[in-house]
Structure 1
Amino acid sequence: MDAVSNPYSPGAGTKPPELAGRDDIRKRVSVCIERLKRGRHDKSILMVGLRGVGKTVLLDQMRQDAEAAGAHTVRIEAPEDRSLPAILAPQLRIALLRLSRIEKAKDHAINALRALAGFVGALKVNFGDIEVGIDAEALPGLADNGDLESDLGALLAEAGTAAQKAETALVIFIDEMQYIEETQFGALISALHLCSQKGLPISLIGAGLPQLLARAGNAKSYAERLFDFPMIGALDSNAAARAITKPAQDEGVVYDDQAVAKIVQHTHGYPYFLQEWGKHSWDTAQESPITSADVDNATQTALAALDESFFRVRLDRLTPSEKKYLRAMAALGPGPHRSGDIADQLGTKVQSVAPTRSSLISKGMIWSPNHGDTAFTVPLFDEFMIRIMPKN
């Protein structure tokens, strides 16, 4: 098969050729944004799911959908080592400059830029990583108290007013939200709550690992009333099959039914893994149709590619004790597992490994579906740990 024509695209946040099985959530977000544009309230949306389910791809597609519908957007990713004000301020500046070009929103957008100037100036003391030039003079008393919660609320209220005057919506898209520090997350929730109370067309569409739901609740008790938390999971068998077969059909190539069934079985329907198996099955096959034997041959190369990239990049961030903890988890299967069972597997007490567990949660490697339970955030990581560390 021609490698140049291979339609599959495994990669971090790379859009697959067929975004199968996600129409409902895209529609939900589109309705939310359209309601805001018409002056009607709707909840913000925080998507939660494991690694490899396509949250980043969805977030970017939703942003494209929003902009195509006339909304103004901000897109940021929350890294582990930067503050929310530092990553939000530069992108919000760009959105406000665009709003300032709309005549009926111009004055309000300029006011929002002046609020942003005050916001940045006041918070530089506490958040030294803020680096942004503002083309406006700060207005004393506007978003410049030096308190993140009150200043962010004032800032977003000004931005929301500008969007309202422009008869549009301002939508903030944030990826990897589980890395936002709790007090900063609380300030963001409080600011959005204020905008909702004022009836302003500003919303947050976010994505993060499953622990995001608990983090939101810890940050502000009313978060569940402000957000919907749709779970983004593996694709069902029909959608997974479509994600594999449709891109090939577009290139004039077909799969036999058994080949498709094997790919769905190996990948468990996770979108990233579907792209890996599709890519390697295509490269392995000599001609159409792609057969079950082709998939068998591709499985080893697909696993090797995952081990050296998708899985390895996460393993290399871990300490020896953290790797040992995950290997003990893996010995018990995909999970979730009781913390006591993992400790027993390690031959120690729960209290002794509690710091290791907390560190792995902070690094986004595991999460707690229920009190005392522990699960991997990366699908199939248990199988990888057994391959990479055959002996516990």
Structure 2
Amino acid sequence: MDKIRNPFSPGAGTPPPELAGRDNVLEQARVLFGRVRAGRPEKSIFMTGLRGVGKTVLLNEMEFMAEDAGYKTILIEAHEEKPLALLLIPHMRRLLFSLDRIKGAGDKVRRGIAVLKSFISGLKLSMGDVEFGLDIEPERGVADNGDLEVDLPNLFMALGEAARERNSCIAILIDEIQYLGKAELSALIMAMHKMQQRQLPIVLVGAGLPILAGMAGDSKSYAERLFNFPNLGPLPEEESIKAIREPIEAAGERIDPDALTEISRLTKGYPYFLQEWGYQAWDHAEDSPITRQIIDEASDIVAKRLDENFFRVRFNRLTPKEKVYLRGMAELGEGPYKSGEVAGVLDSDIRKMGPVRASLIKKGMIYSPSHGHMAYTVPLFGEFMRRAMPDEQGSL
């Protein structure tokens, strides 16, 4: 098998050759972009799911869809070390200047630039010196008091009015949105509430871990009326098989049915693992068809690759106590896990485990699917923990 022609591409956000099993959420995005473009109200989208289900791939696909529908787009990735405002400002500056270059740009666009300058001035009140080179007088008294929950909605309104004046629409796409602070998420939801109230042409598409829906609801009770929350899980067997078989056949090669069934079983339908298995199965096969024997022989290679890349990069961010906690969860088999049961495995006081559990949630390693229960955010991470720490013991 020619490795250069291998159709699979395991990676962070790398588009797969076959985007299987996600038609429903892509249809939601198509309807959102189309309705807002036509001046009709529609809920924005917050996608949720575990690591490796393809949220980033879908977010990138939705950016292409928005651009094809005539939108101007902003795509950012939230993270713990940089405030939302600083992530947004350069893109909003670029976007407003692109609107300003359109022939006949009117007062709303220039006002949007002035409000952005005011927003930056307001940030200086709370964050120190911030400069992005806007050679225009700010609009005093608008979006400049340093309170994000007041300023961000005002900035969005100015941006939305500028877009509407130029017969344009804007799609803001944010990955890893669960890393936003409480005030940031609240400000973002309030801003989108204003967009719906004023029927301004800005949509928001976010992607994050399963805790996102709860975070949004806790932040603003009306969030469920502003957003759809599609949950992305593993693919069913039929779609898992399609995701492997169709790229292979499109490349002119074949794979046996029992090999496909085994890949679906081993990966449990998670798209990232499907890509890794498809990639290694192709490279390991000398000729077509790819057989069940090839899958069996490639198992150790795939496990090593996943351990060294997908799992290890997250494991290395953990403190010793965090590793012990996650290893305790793994000892209980398939989750979700009751906090008391984890404490029992570790022979620890449940009250002492609280700070470690909170730290793991903040790092995006675990989440609470229901009250009093914990689960890994990374599929198959428990199996990895048992390999990484086969006999290691520790305490909290």
For the criterion TM > 0.5, the same-fold answer is yes
For 1:87, the equivalent position in structure 2 comes to: 87
Instruction: Report the counterpart of residue 214 of structure 2 in structure 1.
Output: 214
Structure 2: runs of 5+ lacking an equivalent: none
Aligned residue number for residue 167 of structure 1: 167
Which residue in 2 is equivalent to 1:200?
Answer: 200
Q: Confirm or deny: 8 A CA contact 1:343 1:350 kept in the other structure.
A: yes
Cα–Cα, structure 1 residues 123 and 86, in superposed 2: closer, same or farther, change >3 Å?
same
Aligned residues: 392
Cα displacement (A) at 1:316: 0.2
Partners of 2:109 and 2:165 within 8 A in 1: no
1:227 alignment partner in structure 2: 227
Equivalent residue number for residue 184 of structure 2? 184
1:310 aligns to 2:339 (yes or no)? no
Q: Distance in 1 between matches of 2:178 and 2:15?
A: 22
Task: Give me the TM-score of the superposition, normalised by structure 2.
Answer: 0.96
| Correspondence for 1:370 | 370
1:324 partner amino acid: V
Contact 1:96 1:109 in 2 (8 A): yes
Q: After superposition, what is the alpha-carbon deviation per residue over 1:191-218, rounded to whole angstroms, capped at 9, x for unaligned?
A: 1111211111111100000111111122
Q: How does 1:1-392 map to 2 (within 5 A)?
A: 1-103=1-103, 105-128=105-128, 130-391=130-391, 392=393
Deviates further, 107-116 or 47-56: 107-116
Structure 1 residue 128: Cα displacement? 4.0
Alpha-carbon separation, structure 1, partners of 2:100 and 2:196: 22
Measure, in 2, the Cα distance between the counterparts of 1:87 and 1:228: 24
Deviation at 1:144, TM superposition (A): 1.5
With normalisation by structure 1, the TM-score equals 0.97
Moved more, 47-56 or 93-102: 93-102
Q: Which stretch shows the higher mean deviation, 298-307 or 158-167?
A: 158-167
2:299 is paired with a residue whose SS is: helix
Once the two structures are overlaid, the 10-residue window that deviates more, 286-295 or 233-242, is 233-242
CA positional deviation for 1:130:
4.7
Structure 2 Cα separation of the partners of residues 34 and 151 of structure 1: 28
SS in structure 1 at match of 2:352: helix
Deviation at 1:135, TM superposition (A): 4.2
Return the alpha-carbon distance in structure 1 between the equivalents of residues 3 and 106 of structure 2.
51
State the 1:282 CA deviation: 0.6
Q: Which range is displaced more, 145-154 or 27-36?
A: 145-154
Structure 1's unaligned 5+ residue stretches are none
SS at match of 1:311: helix
The percent of aligned pairs where both chains have the same amino acid is 50
Whether the 8 Å CA contact 1:99–1:106 is kept in 2: the answer is: no
Deviates more, 1:132-141 or 1:153-162: 132-141
The letter of the residue matching 1:346 is L
1:105 CA drift (Å): 4.6
Q: Distance in 2 between matches of 1:293 and 1:135?
A: 66
Give 1:122 shift: 1.3
Tell me the alpha carbon deviations over residues 273-303 of structure 1, each in whole angstroms, 9 at most, x when there is no partner. Answer: 0000001101110100000000111111011
Shift, 1:71, TM fit: 1.0
Cα 1:333–1:133 shift into 2, 3 Å: farther
